[in-house]
A and B are shown apart, each in its own frame.
Chain A
């Protein structure tokens, strides 16, 4: 693949045209594509067998096709995702999979199985524990992943060897490591990459062949970022925390107001790729370790609050000055976490927070006013 564009532009292009990318990938490779929901599906196992996993995301367009399947008290993201399937935008998928997270997206998975046929009619639900903090979770997940391996083998007609798993782990872990390195550059006083670019990078990672993205990421780190001259003012350094958020337009609008989103904690951001696999002889056990120990979705963060420690570290490491706390409307797990999280940030870290509730489309004018007021207040306080 000859790339003439810089990496970040290519990621933005893939983010905007992810279906075209996937169709083209199938044409080029003859491989299968599996759509998945949430970030607990072990992509390593799919890369081991040359299947392209793509995360099913919404389109941020108003729609009316899901109303008869999932009614409007469920999160807009889960309905937006289903709308993409019902509207035939993922017609190239050979199958779908989900690893248990929340009941909202579980409905999307169920309705997809019922109403959106995939090419190979392959659908799989991994019973990912909701309590990774339990010592019982890992042995259970190992068995679940072993069953998933068998199902994938039966589906693809290929046997998955340790060598295959090593290759799959290598591809995914390299991708995690490289994206982490890109994120690290944002610690600088003048971050060379914006929050918007980073979000596009992560969405591209969830949409494209990671082996291809790794080449681009390496080039980005070795050649493009060092050559960048940062002319824009950093402004207020923000963290964005919350539930699924792939709204690049919102992020761009925020950064156009003189702030920089220097770090995030959400599942189209750092929560997706933050921890690598610690290699073990038993590859499945190693994969299970990673998904048990990954930065948790709030749905999986109990009895203790492991996510808090991670957020505290991010705030310190990235010199964060303010927090945008966002959630998809009706997202219960985040709704539980947000009040104590905002209290923790304010009381322990003296970080002011602005809470915003997201829908399929966001009220740009209103959000602009609120963010401007938030930034101005912080500037006044700083004076």
Chain B
């Protein structure tokens, strides 16, 4: 039903947008040419990226964001997915992994040229797939592989210190292994510096996400899918900290001046899961009804660190200096790294047992003033799809409207766009929203 045009807020493009794109593309060029320039190349899950920073002239390729980049190009994605399936692997595997491995098998790099063969693989093991993924990559190239086990459990069972110790000792072993396979001495000072930058990056991103609690929201979820990428693929880098300082200042300025991501914002929604990367126009549907999608647990937490208090209020973490922490030894550093990983809401409410998750999600809804949540039941990522329906039940109990649709973040063959649009439109109408003429 057509309604009335309601422009409520000033809006304008982000000044920081172009820089974000440049950082990302420069990084992928850097990866593609690293070995030609005499550098070492390693690859693994996003959160591993900090650890190789202690090896001078070693580049890290984060696997999931590369899989997501491929997903944005459905033709190339299908080529990759079919290459994986042709080798006998299942279609229901992690979508990012199929894209990454397919790109490896067909020896084509999304950004041009052959797939950049790593010298060795290093990954944290957070969902069932990660270590197994790099076991396959390691065997394919006949290169060394090391996995860091992050222990699973109940985040509030009083066993946290043992888990930190275990993850820290695994990280310690990973560093010694890196020295062996790289033939280079691990520079602890470089690692400390990278941790410092990483913690500040996470604090800045968290601050940016919390700024999005403002009405009108200065950022929309669709833009945030791109804005977190530099922090995911370039761990512990000064230029990334500088970028997020600039972005934070710009977002703060938008809040101060009431500049909106969506000029017609009159309703706010949250999203759950990774998006279908080839179908981001689904977010535009919400906007046509004046519904601003203001964030998601995934986008907030993949590269963010928070304290969620007992009242479910989310607080951005602080840089190390503000926390009064200075790292003086490798032992302190690996323990700090392990604690940060296990304290992240990304771990504690997604991968561990879900008791904290329900509290955290209700805090998201309240803190970001959302009137509902769109939940992507993502067949392409079992890790993040864990507990999604239990979360929906918890939100239902709290009176928060939800919409679920089934899809796949990376495999367009498993996605029914027309049905998703229908469901989104029905959801909007059920929320009492009519389509706006703008």
A-side interface residues toward B, CB under 8 Å? 68-71, 73-74, 100, 102-104, 106-107, 109-111, 114, 125, 127, 129-131, 134-137, 140, 143-144, 147, 298-299, 302-303, 305, 329-330, 332-333, 335-340, 342
Contact = CB atoms under 8 A, between A and B. Distances in A.
Contact of B153 (A125, A135, A332): A125
Interface stretch (B166-174, B276-284, B426-434): B166-174
Contact of B383 (A103, A303, A333, A340): A103
Given A70-B389, A71-B377, A136-B166, A336 B382 contact: no
Contacts of A137: 149
A136 B169 contact: yes
B76 interface: no
Interface stretch (B121-129, B189-197, B264-272): B121-129
Contact of A106 (B125, B353, B406): B353
Contact of A143 (B88, B90, B162): B162
B131 A131 contact: yes
Given A69-B389, A336-B136, A125 B157 contact: yes
Nearest to A136: B169
B205 to A, nearest CB: 26
Interface string B62-92: 0000000000000000000000000111101
13 contacts: A100-B152, A100-B153, A103-B351, A103-B386, A110-B354, A127-B163, A130-B152, A136-B169, A147-B159, A302-B132, A302-B135, A303-B135, A336-B129
Interface in B361-405: 377, 379, 382-383, 385-390, 393
B387 A131 contact: no
Contacts of A104: 128, 382
Contacts of A70: 389
Nearest to A305: B135
Contact of B382 (A69, A74, A111, A143): A74
Contacts, number: 136
Contact of B128 (A68, A131, A134, A333): A333
A107 B88 contact: no
B154 interface: yes
Question: Which 7 A-B residue pairs are closest in the complex by CB-CB distance?
Answer: A339-B88, A127-B153, A131-B149, A336-B132, A335-B90, A140-B166, A136-B169
Interface of B: 87-90, 92-94, 125, 127-129, 131-133, 135-136, 138-139, 145-147, 149, 151-154, 157, 159, 162-163, 165-166, 169-170, 173, 351, 353-354, 377, 379, 382-383, 385-390, 393, 406
Contact of B388 (A71, A144, A305, A340): A71
A111 B390 contact: yes
Contacts of B162: 127, 140, 143-144
A100 B128 contact: no
B339 to A, nearest CB: 16
What DSSP secondary structure best describes chain B's contact surface?
mixed
Contacts of A340: 136, 139
Contacts of B133: 336
A103 B129 CA distance: 10
Given A332-B129, A339-B87, A339-B89, A114 B390 contact: yes
A54 to B, nearest CB: 22
Given A144-B159, A332-B93, A136 B353 contact: no
Contacts of B354: 110
Nearest to A67: B389
Contacts of B90: 330, 332, 335
A70 B390 CA distance: 8
Nearest to A339: B88
Contacts of B388: 71
B88 A127 contact: no
Given A111-B390, A131-B131, A335 B92 contact: yes
Contacts of A337: 132
B159 A73 contact: no
A69 B390 CA distance: 5
A58 B115 CA distance: 44
A354 B354 CA distance: 38
A16 to B, nearest CB: 32
Nearest to A101: B128
Contacts of B165: 140
A129 B135 contact: no
Given A71-B377, A111-B390, A134-B170, A302 B89 contact: no
A106 B154 CA distance: 11
A305 B132 CA distance: 11
Contact of A302 (B93, B131, B385, B406): B131
Contact of A127 (B87, B128, B159, B406): B159
A68 B127 contact: no
A143 B149 CA distance: 16
A109 B354 CA distance: 11
A99 to B, nearest CB: 10
A330 B382 CA distance: 9
B404 to A, nearest CB: 8
B131 A303 contact: yes
Contacts of B169: 136
A307 B331 CA distance: 33
B151 A73 contact: no
A194 to B, nearest CB: 30
B162 to A, nearest CB: 5
B382 A298 contact: no
A333 B393 contact: no
B406 A71 contact: yes
Given A125-B154, A303-B131, A335-B93, 16 more contacts: A71-B406, A104-B128, A104-B382, A107-B390, A109-B353, A125-B152, A125-B153, A127-B152, A127-B163, A134-B149, A136-B173, A137-B149, A140-B151, A143-B159, A302-B135, A330-B90
